């Protein structure tokens, strides 16, 4: 009977250290985009610490990562309508069917947020989920598609 390879575990001290950095930054009450960039962004502490896709996937399943996402959402909630002072904002024009626009408009009204805020929230959530799936797919293909090391 073949033995199943146990998944490699991330260093719990590394996860705790990343959370402590995020908590110190959160205590400074930065703009949410600054917090995102410094903690979860491409050059942020999370990706620098967990540079291996498998380790990143595992970190994203920890209570420390969940707490970081809570801190980000808390900052976003507090700063909903304030523009970020330290990061330039960009404008993207999106063409969509009228029915989709009306649906987003109703949903935003029900949530008492702007359509812009709603769309940014949906994009961030979608990108986070797609990124996790992509990393899972890459990790599975690197170990021969068995997923044994995940």
List, for residues 72-84, the tens digit of each pLDDT value.
989 988 876 555 5
Question: Residue range 85-89: average pLDDT?
Answer: 67
Q: What is the pTM of this model?
A: 0.55
Cβ neighbours around 116 below 10 Å, total? 13
Which of 63, 27, 66, 20 lies closest to 45 in space, CA to CA? Answer: 20
Please, which pLDDT band fits residue 64 given cuts at 50, 70 and 90? Answer: very high
List, for residues 38-61, the tens digit of each pLDDT value.
999 889 999 999 988 889 989 999
List, for residues 90-103, the tens digit of each pLDDT value.
888 889 999 999 99
Tokens 């304030």, residue located = 82
Q: What DSSP designation does 101 have?
A: H
Enter the tokens of residue 44.
Answer: 């942020």
């Amino acid at each position: 009977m073949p033995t199943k390879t146990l998944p490699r575990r991330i260093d719990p001290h590394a996860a705790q250290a990343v959370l402590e950095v995020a908590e110190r930054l959160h205590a400074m009450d930065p703009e949410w985009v600054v917090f995102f960039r410094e903690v979860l962004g491409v050059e942020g502490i999370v990706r620098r610490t967990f540079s291996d896709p498998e380790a990143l996937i595992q970190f994203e399943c920890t209570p420390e990562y969940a707490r970081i996402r809570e801190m980000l959402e808390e900052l976003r909630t507090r700063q909903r309508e304030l523009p970020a002072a330290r990061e330039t904002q960009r404008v993207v024009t999106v063409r969509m069917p009228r029915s989709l626009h009306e649906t987003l408009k109703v949903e935003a009204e029900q949530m008492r947020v702007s359509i812009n805020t709603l769309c940014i929230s949906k994009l961030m959530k979608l990108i986070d989920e797609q990124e996790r799936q992509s990393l899972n797919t890459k990790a599975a293909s690197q170990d021969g598609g068995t997923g044994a090391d995940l």
